[in-house]
Structure 1
Amino acid sequence: MLIVNTIAGLLGAVLLLRFWMQAIRVRPPSSVAQFTFQLSDWLVRPLRRIVPGVGGFDWASLIGAFLIVFLATSVMFIAGVSWQVVLLMAFQRFLEWILYGFMAMLVIEAIFSWVNPHAPLAPFIRALNEPLLRPIRRVVPLVGNLDLSLLVALILLQIAQQVLAMVFGGR
């Protein structure tokens, strides 16, 4: 199960990153783009024949991420569980992956800001986080020239996780 979850988590993260980069129109550094596209093209390209991009969104990447989580969930609960339960559990895990992905990007940005704000990937990570942080920055002022929007965003994402756990019956 560990191997299945690890592989599914990596593929799901790459597919969600691919969706997010295209949704907010962030051009990744070439190394990130090459890694992302090489790891996910095998699934996204065939899905694009079935599910074209609409409204500027790469739906094939998003649906591909959901298919990965659904397959991983199916493998974990193969015996004695109805497909409706597996589908619901997969949907919960899919939403958890999205929340964890946003949290990871925020933590990476915080680390860059402390360790090396001029790192080559720092502008890319900032661009990925900007749509999350912009509305918070409008509400939360700087405190002593310190931007607390990252902290507020992390807290809000944790609250969203708790709500998700309550909605789906918690674990």
Structure 2
Amino acid sequence: MRIDTRVAPLLTILAACVVGYFTLQLFANVLLTIDGVTRGIVERSITHIVGWLLFGFLGIYSLLIIIRIVFSWVMDYSNRILRFLVKVTDPILEPFRRMIPTLGVFDISPIIVLLLLGFLQTAVRAVLLS
């Protein structure tokens, strides 16, 4: 695949913005999880500890799905990293793939799963902060 040299700088900027956004999201989720678990330990609240660990897990799992999507566009499925991502994310994605038809060549099941994980993560956070 050949990229036109006139759009290459724009693609680089776009890629940097996307990577930066997801890095910030991961960093924020990790910090919120550490803060929540630490507070749960100090308050001796097993509910808060488990809840914040669940919050962190949902964030990292969402990030793994996004990385899998991006890597599947640019990597061969024989790549070890992509095989690992497929093995980790397929247990959640496969049931949705069976239920949701593709739109032409586009599989929208990862988008639906990401939305559901986002709603679940927001709900967990709202319950923990209330």
Could you state the TM-score of these two structures normalised by the residue count of structure 1? 0.49
Which residue of structure 2 lines up, in the alignment, with residue 73 of structure 1?
38
**In structure 2, do the counterparts of structure 1 residues 77 and 121 end up closer, same or farther at CA, with 3 Å as the change threshold?**
closer
How far apart, in 2, do the equivalents of 1:112 and 1:73 lie?
34
**In structure 2, do the counterparts of structure 1 residues 131 and 77 end up closer, same or farther at CA, with 3 Å as the change threshold?**
closer
Q: 3-state DSSP class of the match of 1:141?
A: coil
Which residue of structure 1 lines up, in the alignment, with residue 109 of structure 2?
149
Picking from 32, 44, 47, the partner of 1:83 is 44
Which residue of structure 2 lines up, in the alignment, with residue 111 of structure 1?
70
How far apart, in 2, do the equivalents of 1:146 and 1:77 lie?
45
Residue 89 of structure 1: how far off its partner (Å): 2.5
Runs in 1 of length 4+ with deviation above 6 angstroms? none
How far apart, in 2, do the equivalents of 1:151 and 1:117 lie?
21
* One-letter amino acid of the structure 2 residue matched with residue 83 of structure 1: R
Structure 2: any 5+ residue segments left out of the alignment? 1-26
How far apart, in 2, do the equivalents of 1:130 and 1:138 lie?
12
Answer yes or no: is 1:129 the counterpart of 2:104: no
CA deviations over 1:98-154 (Å, ceiling 9, x no partner): 201211210110111122133331122111111101111111111011111111110
Picking from 117, 124, 128, the partner of 1:164 is 124
Two-structure CA RMSD over aligned residues (Å) = 2.8
* One-letter amino acid of the structure 2 residue matched with residue 103 of structure 1: S
How far apart, in 2, do the equivalents of 1:91 and 1:102 lie?
16
Question: Contact (CA 8 Å) 2:71, 2:82: kept in 1 or not?
Answer: yes
Could you state the TM-score of these two structures normalised by the residue count of structure 2? 0.62
Picking from 94, 101, 105, the partner of 2:60 is 101
Which residue of structure 2 lines up, in the alignment, with residue 49 of structure 1?
none
Q: How many correspondences in the alignment?
A: 98
Residue 169 of structure 1: how far off its partner (Å): 3.3
Question: Contact (CA 8 Å) 2:65, 2:89: kept in 1 or not?
Answer: yes
How far apart, in 2, do the equivalents of 1:169 and 1:120 lie?
39
Which protein has the bigger helix share?
2
* One-letter amino acid of the structure 2 residue matched with residue 133 of structure 1: L
